Chains A and B, each alone.
Chain A
Amino acid sequence: MLKYVLRRALYSIPVLILASMLIFVLVREFGTDPARARCGVSRDKQCIPRVEKELGLDQALPVQYVDYMTEFVQGHWGDSQRTGQSVDDSIRRALWDTTQLAFWAVLLSGGIAVAIGVYSASKPYSPGDYAFTGLAFAGLALPTFWLGLIMIQYFTYELQRWTGSADVIFRSIPFAEGPQNATQYFQELALPVFVLSVQLIAGWSRYQRSSMLEELNSDYIRTARAKGLPRRRVIWKHGLRNSLSALVTVMAIDVGALFGGLIITERVFSRPGMGTLLLSALQNGDTNILLPWMLVTGMFIIVFNLIADVMYGVLDPRVRVA
C-alpha cells in the first residue's frame, strides 16, 4: 500500500514540472503582454522594448522560465503591481478565503449527493428517480452566475421585504468588518455555499447514481442477496462500498479544481478569494500575480489528483497491485 502511494507521488513530480512549463508558456506567450499593458496607450515607440528588457521578456522563453522558477521556488513571488503588496501574501489570504467556501460546500454536497445517488440507483426509473434526474439536469444547465443573482433577489431582498425585518437575513456581500459571530458567519456564507452546492450535487449525484447502478448489476450483489442479507444492507454495505471508490476519486479531483474555480461565485457574492484575485489581476493588468496564481492552483489540482489516486487505492484493494 505504501509502495503504491509512493509510486503515485513520484509520478506527480514530473507532472508538476511539465505543468509549470505549460503554465509559463500559457501566461507569457498567450496571455496579455505585460509590456503592452504597462505602456498602454503611450506613444513612446521605445516604451515596449524598454519595458520588455526591464522585465526580462526579451530573452528566450526557456531562459525566462529558468529565471522565473528559480525565484519562484525560493518563495520570491514579487509584489503586486497595483497594490504593492507581496504576491504570496495576497495568494495566501485568497486561498484561505476560498478554502472556507469550498469546505462548507463540499461537506454539504458530498453527503447529499451520495444519498440522492444511492436512492436513485436503488429505485431506478421510479418517480423519485425521475424527479432527482430532472433536478440534476436543471442544476447542471443553470448558469451559476444567474442562479446566484436570482438567489440574491429572492432570498436577500424579497425575503427581507416579505418578513419585514430590519436587515437582510441572507447576505449578498460579506460583512465590512468580517463576521463577528457564528450567526453572521452563516449569514455570509449561506447563499454562496448554496449556489456552489447546487452545481456540485447535480454533478455528483448523477455520477453516484450511474456508478451505483453499475455496481448493483454486479454478480456479487446477487451473491450477497443469496446469502440472505436484507436488501438495505446489500445496497448500503456492498453496493455503496464499491461505488464509493469511483465517486470519491471524482470528488477529490473536483475539489482540487475548486481552488481555481470559484471565480463566478466569488464574483457574484463579492467575496474575497482566489477567483476575485484572478479577476482583478486580469482587469488591472497585474501580471505579477498571474503566474504564481496559476502555479499554485495547478499544484493544488495535482496534489488533489494524487489524493484521489490514494483514496482509490484505499477503497479498491485491486488497484494496489497495479
Chain B
Amino acid sequence: MTDALLEVRDLQVEFTTEDGIVAAVNGVSFSVQRGETLAIVGESGSGKSVSALAIMGLIEKPGRIAGGEITFEGRSLSSISERDYRKLRGGDLAMIFQDPLSSLNPAFRVGDQIAEALLTHTYEKKDAARRQAAALLDLVGIPQAGDRARDYPHQFSGGMRQRAMIAMAIANKPKLLIADEPTTALDVTIQAQVLEVLRKAQRETDAAMLLITHDLGVVAGMADRVVVMYAGRIVEEGTLDELFYEARHPYTLGLLNSLPRLDSDRRQPLRTIPGTPPSVLNLPPGCALAPRCLYVQDRCREERPELTAVGPETHRSACFRAAELPALAGAAMDVPS
C-alpha cells in the first residue's frame, strides 16, 4: 500500500469548546489509490468533513490535529511548512465545497475567481489565465462560457455554480479531488447532471476522488470503495459491492434500509435508525452506536469494537456481531413493520 496516493493513519482532530475538548475525528485510517474514488459516508457530525479539512490542512482554531499521520504521494503532510502546503492546495490537492453560492466570492466575477486559481499555481499571465478559465467553464458544460465568465456568482443558477466550482478545482489538474457534499445543496434533478460533470472532470484529469456524502445514492453511482463513519470513527469499510450487498455493520444496514426503494410497499413507513447521533462530547464507553443499535448486547456497551476483516481483506467492520448480522438482519427485514 506504499504507493497509495493518500494515506491517512490514525487521524485525531480535536476542537476546544466552551464545554470541553471534542474529538471530532477519533482514530480514523484510510487510503486512496491513484485514480480511484473513495466515498466517506456518514451523518452530519460524524467527522467526515473535518477529516477532509484536515487533509487540506485547513483546520483552524479552535480545532487542531491532535494525532495521526497524513501522507500524500509519500510526503508527510504533518511536517511540511505552510508555504509548501499552499503549493499543494488548489494544485495537486483540490477541494469542492457544499454550498456553491456561499463558497464563491460574491464580489468577484466567476471567471476571475477561476483565473485566480490558475495564476496561483500554473499560469503567469492574466490574459492566458482568463482564457483558460473560460475554457474550463466550457469543459464543465457552461453554455457561452466566454460571456458567462464575466458574470457574478449570484447570476449563475445553483447547478451552474457548482460546475464553476468544479472547474476551479480541476483547473490545475489535481491528483486528488476532495468533494464535500457536492450535490447536497442542489435540486435532485440537477444533482445527476453535476455528478456527471464530476465524473467527466475526474476522467479528464485522471484524478483520484475523495467523495464525502451522506447520500448513498450518490455513492452508488460514483464510488469504487466506501468508508462509513459514525461519531468520529470508521465503522465499516469495503468495496462498493461489499458494502451494498454484504453490509456487516448495523449502522450501514440502517442507512441502507432507510433508502426508499421503488419496489417497497408504499403503505409502510420509511425505516429510520431510531434515536439521534450522539453528542461527541459525551460519548458512551463501548460502541458509540450502542444506544441506538437494534442488535446491541451487553458487551457492546462496555467494550469498543475494533475494525476487523469480515470476509475478503478489503472488507472490515467494527462490530462484535458482524458475522451474525446477515442472519439477524435477514430475519428482521422479513418482518412486516
Contact = CB atoms under 8 A, between A and B. Distances in A.
Interface of A: 218-220, 222-230, 238, 241-242, 245, 315-318, 321
Contacts of B251: none
5 A-B pairs with the lowest CB-CB distances in the bound complex, closest first:
A228-B90, A227-B90, A228-B89, A219-B102, A220-B105
B91 A228 contact: yes
B129 to A, nearest CB: 13
B58 A225 contact: yes
B150 to A, nearest CB: 11
Contact of A227 (B89, B107, B152): B89
B58 A222 contact: yes
Contact of B116 (A229, A241, A317): A229
A317 B153 CA distance: 9
Given A317-B152, A317-B154, A226 B94 contact: yes
Interface string B83-98: 0001111110011010
A228 B58 contact: no
A242 B107 contact: yes
Contact of B103 (A222, A230, A316, A321): A222
B148 interface: no
A220 B89 contact: no
Contacts of A227: 89-90, 116-117, 120, 168
Nearest to A230: B86
9 contacts: A222-B97, A223-B104, A226-B58, A227-B90, A228-B87, A228-B90, A228-B121, A229-B86, A318-B152
B65 to A, nearest CB: 16
B187 to A, nearest CB: 19
B140 interface: no
A226 B105 contact: no
B56 interface: yes
A228 B94 CA distance: 9
A138 B99 CA distance: 41
A238 B108 CA distance: 9
B212 to A, nearest CB: 14
Contacts of A222: 58, 97, 103
B106 interface: yes
B94 A219 contact: no
A141 B97 CA distance: 44
A220 B86 contact: no
A316 B94 CA distance: 28
A228 to B, nearest CB: 3
Given A228-B89, A317-B152, A223 B107 contact: no
Nearest to A320: B152
Contact of B106 (A225, A229, A318): A318
A218 B105 CA distance: 9
Contacts of A317: 106-107, 152, 154
A8 B167 CA distance: 37
Contacts of B94: 226
Contacts of A218: 102
Interface in B238-284: none
Contacts of A229: 86, 90, 116, 120
Given A223-B103, A242-B107, A317-B152, 17 more contacts: A220-B103, A220-B106, A223-B168, A225-B58, A226-B90, A226-B94, A226-B95, A227-B120, A228-B88, A228-B91, A228-B117, A229-B90, A230-B86, A316-B106, A318-B106, A318-B154, A321-B154
A238 B168 contact: no
B127 to A, nearest CB: 20
B41 to A, nearest CB: 22
A223 to B, nearest CB: 5
B107 A315 contact: yes
Nearest to A245: B107
Interface in B94-137: 94-95, 97, 99, 102-108, 116-117, 120-121
A321 B153 CA distance: 13
Contacts of A225: 58, 89
Contacts of A224: 105
A321 B152 CA distance: 12
